[in-house]
Amino acid sequence: MMVSSELSLTVLIVEDEQAIRRFVRTALEDVGCRVQEADTLQRGLLEAGTRKPDLIILDLGLPDGDGVDFIRDLRAWSGVPILVLSARVEEYDKVAALDAGADDYLVKPFGVAELLARVRAVSRRYLQDPGGASVVTFGQIHVDLEMRQVTRADQPVRLTPIEFRLLSVLVSRPDKVLTHRQLLREVWGPVYVERSHYLRIYMGHLRQKLEADPTRPRHFITETGIGYRFCPA
């Protein structure tokens, strides 16, 4: 289950609760990460600037300020991946954090496996070459982004231009949660960011065409109230 030194990242934890810092630190050090801690947003910004971490884990409920502002500040000069921790009541804070530039989120309470899975996914995306692969394969589906061709069990699948655009935005960022606004802006354009029903309808089409059981999707996952996530596995 445990693979040592699998991840050699420098991780900054911005969290006011010592017990959580300790557990996250233990879990991350077990897989080979170096961990730095900050207990306030102020200190977190400072550490982020000086230590140049590969990943920031940020608690949204810090008492000394708004985590979303922290993300905006940070994004002004850094593209470092940010993993947000939040309590479930703060659903709409999570969306704000993701829209502001956070990469993913974890809901408290979370387990070690969940934490490590998210850390891996976020850092993998960050370290990957930004061009990305032009061919993506998941389940029985084969997508050639350059040729604009999709096959399902070697049978061609016909997608409309918007369906294809939506698919390519999703598959180009595997395991990342994309908010409704982000998807609407990228696929339909900035005018459409409030018309989320387009997204619902086209997501339904994609699932109809690409999922084995559209009601119980395995690849195009709904993050209720937040957005969608593409899971290749």
Partner 1 sequence: MLKRAAITMDGQRRWTDASGLLRDYGVALLMSLGVTMTAAVLLPYLDHANIVMLFLLAVIIVAAGYGRGPALLVAVLNVLSFNFVFVPPYFAFAFDTRQATLTFMVMLVVGLIVGQLTARFRYQARIARAREQRASHLYDMARELSGALMAEQVVEISQRCIEASFQVKASLLLPDERSRLQAPFLLPGKLPVDLAIAQRCFDHNQPVDLDTASGQVAALWYVPLKAPLRTRGVLLVAFEQPLPPPIAEQRRLLDTVAVLIAIALERIHFATVARDTLVKMEAERERSSLLAGLSHDLRTPMTALIGLAETLTLRLAVEQSPYQDSLQAIREQAGRMALMVDNLLDMARLQVGKIRLHKDWQSLEELVGAAVRTLEQPLRDHPLWLDLDPKLPLVNCDAVLIERVLVNLLQNAAKYTPPGTAIGITAGVDADRLCVEVWDEGPGLPTGQEPILFEKFTRGQVASVVPGVGLGLAICRSIVEAHGGTIRAENRAAGGARFAFALPLEPPPPFETEDESDSEPDHDGEQ
Which residues contribute to the site for partner 1 (CB under 8 A)?
1-2, 17, 19-20, 22-24, 26-27, 30, 61, 85, 87-92, 108-113, 115, 158-162, 195-198, 200-201, 203-205, 214-217, 221-225
Could you tell me if 31 and 2 are in contact, meaning their C-beta atoms sit under 8 angstroms apart?
A: yes
Q: Between residues 15 and 47, which has the closer beta carbon with respect to partner 1?
A: 15
Residue 5 has what DSSP assignment? T
d(CA 35, CA 32): 9
Counting beta carbons within 10 angstroms of the beta carbon of residue 57, is it exposed (0 to 12), middle (13 to 18) or buried (19 or more)? buried
Containing 86, the helix (H) or strand (E) segment is strand 82-86
Strand, coil or helix: 76: coil
Q: With respect to partner 1, which residue has the nearer C-beta, 109 or 130?
A: 109
What is the smallest separation between the CB atom of 72 and partner 1, expressed in angstroms? 20
* CB-nearer residue toward partner 1: 134 or 208: 208
CB of 55 to partner 1, least distance (A): 17
For partner 1, give the closer residue by CB, 23 or 126.
23
Neighbouring-strand partners of residue 143:
136, 150
